Amino acid sequence: MIFDFALLLEPTIHHLDVKHILFGPTDSRLPLPGNIGFSFRLQQQLPLQKNQKSTKHCDVLTGETNYDRQVAILDQELRRDFEDTESLEELYEEELKARSKPGEMLEVKLQECPELLKKDFATLFPAVNVAKSNLSVLTFTQKTIHDMSSWSEDTEEEREKLTEYFVETAKEICRRIRSQGHWADFVDPTSGRPYLGDYTPATFFETDCRYRQFGFTIEDLGCCKVLRHHKWGTHCFVGSIFTNAPLESDVVAEILAEMDLLNHNGA
């Protein structure tokens, strides 16, 4: 004979009061040893004994568990962190607006490369005969909120944003110059090497002493070198674009005019 025993996982049963079973009167619905009964009998409610109060049962399937409470707490923490992140972004934007007046966040200068440096840059761009052709250097300097002479997470985050902005802008500038039949390339700030050209062991980082030829100061702090701008000091980030386009060419003039307009509108 096969008995259909009542199991807690069976969706049609009612949960039993264990305390009542152990210490209270015998449950007539569980006649077998070990408090086992038939499922069809569990559909019936056990009648209340005289002077016995109804007991509120804990629903373990729908009630809040420790896990649910932990999830709720984590959700609150994440929402608070997200709100804090938005607050930091708002503070950053306010600080940026407070310090950035038109004409004070970007400096773009195009200079003819000194003859003495052409041979040095020949190793940086081996595929181009820069030593025997026109070579101009466009320095793209952005003013920073944080002091770039010291390291912090905020400084590193700002540097990454400025690097991304420079790379995207330099790619567009080089594309426009090349579309007019000239050569142009720029130095990737993260590697110090040409972004568009072939790989070369030569590098040109922002603390390279050759930047002195373009109006910057390089300070040796002992543990490291720091680039200093004539106006913004160490609150600056610089990138370089190289081209053989003549200084008086139309494409160069248009680019400089657009950069100047961007600067005065608040870069």
Beta bridge partners of 143: 236
Smallest Cα–Cα separation from 240: which of 101, 104, 142, 130?
A: 142
Q: What are the Cα distances from residue 254, in Å, to 10, 16, 242?
A: 78, 84, 16
Q: Looking at this protein, which amino acid is placed at residue 33? A: P
- Name the token pair of 12: 């049609």
Q: Hey, which bits of the chain come out as E strands?
A: 106-112, 136-143, 184-186, 217-220, 225-228, 236-243
Any idea what the Cα angle at residue 173 is, between residues 250 and 120, rounded to 5°? 95
Q: Identify the pLDDT of residue 16.
A: 46
Exposed / middle / buried, residue 135 (Cβ in 10 Å: 0-12, 13-18, 19+): buried
Indicate the range of 28-37, 116-125, 194-203, 205-214 predicted with least confidence: 28-37
Q: What is the pLDDT of residues 155-188, one digit of tens each?
A: 999 999 999 999 999 999 999 999 999 999 999 9
Residues 6+ positions from 236 with CB-CB distance below 8 Å: 141, 142, 143, 144, 148, 227, 228, 229
The rounded distance, in Å, linking the Cα atoms of 240 and 166 is 9
Q: What is the pLDDT of residues 199-255, one digit of tens each?
A: 999 999 999 999 999 999 999 887 888 999 999 999 999 999 999 999 999 999 999
**Separation of CA 97 from chain center:** 21
Q: What is the pLDDT of residues 86-111, one digit of tens each?
A: 555 565 566 555 544 545 789 999 99
The rounded distance, in Å, linking the Cα atoms of 232 and 202 is 29
Using a cut of 0.75, tell me whether the model's pTM lies above it: no
